[in-house]
Amino acid sequence: MLLCLAVYKCAVSPTGDRLYITNPYYQHTLLTLARDGTLLATLTDPAINKLFVIR
């Protein structure tokens, strides 16, 4: 699977094993990646364009 997107904001989990990436302008997407870049989860929701902080 090829993912092409621009990163709007990103965050790293406290343990450093996950990376959270948002792009509210294209597909309203939140991606969760493993440390090695493996895609763990995808969340698509129009409300993501209102995210300012990932916790």
SS3 letters for 13-44?
CCCCCEEEEEECCCCCEEEEEECCCCEEEEEE
Q: Is residue 1 in some structural domain? A: no
Domain that holds residue 15: 9-50
Instruction: Say what the pTM is.
Output: 0.70
In a domain, 41, yes or no: yes
Question: Tell me: the pLDDT tens digits for 6-29?
Answer: 677 889 999 999 999 887 666 778
Residue 13 CA, distance from chain mean position: 12
Please state the domain count of the chain: 1
The reported pLDDT for the residue numbered 26 is 66
